[in-house]
Structure 1
Amino acid sequence: MLVLFERFATRLQGLKWPAVAGLIIMILVAAWVLAGTSAERQDRWLIPVVLVAVWLLLLASGLNMFARVPAMAEPQMSWWTRVKIRLHRGLYHLFAWFMLLVSLSLVVVTFQLTAAWLRMN
């Protein structure tokens, strides 16, 4: 699974800065919706803006985290170096599972909030 995340991140590195720029724009739009608009406009636009911002945050963090996954330990390395590499890769595996869990949870939350938003509008 770690190799899959690494391939995904390296293939989509061109989206890294557009994702960060989009995230900054969505945060500014969310701040504007919360601070400078009427309650009617807040009801209409806050859910989509927050959902897009959270998805962009997930994309940007995944692209940054899995761009450079440490290589596997080789038998000719010293014992301590192999242990450090395995611990480092183990943390990356933990992050990969966490990212998968967060992504699936975000899909569920997106469907729920989209349904609520469609009922409101």
Structure 2
Amino acid sequence: MNSSKKKSQVAKFLFKKSLKNGNVDPLRVHHILKIVGNLKPPESVVILKNYKRLIKEKIAKEEVIIEIPKKPANSKVFEQQLLKMTKAKKIIYKLNPKIVFGAKITHGDWIYDTTLQTKLEQLTIR
């Protein structure tokens, strides 16, 4: 087994230890970073890069980002349905005045873009 593969496996093991009830636990992450930080640089750099990537991917799956022109007044039912569908833990609203109509929803690597600009671009391509 090559060294790079072994370091990747160590990062996956540390990532699994960072989870509590399937979610990233900041205290566990902090503890693991202290331990890995004490390793010599050649060993720790690859492990930390892989570990960081895994943590970022997991956090992205725990939250849904909704980009809209303004926050709707009656969004509770929509939020509950969206959290249930995506199994995310929280919703983050990003207000974007450049969006005239529609919304852009991001969950992990999944993007649902129904903005007016995107629809117009799709029409011009056809």
- After TM superposition, the score normalised by the length of structure 2 is 0.35
More strand per residue: 1 or 2? 2
Where relative contact order (Cα < 8 A, 6+ residues apart) is larger, the structure is 1
Select the structure that is richer in helix.
1
TM-score for the superposition, normalised by structure 1: 0.36
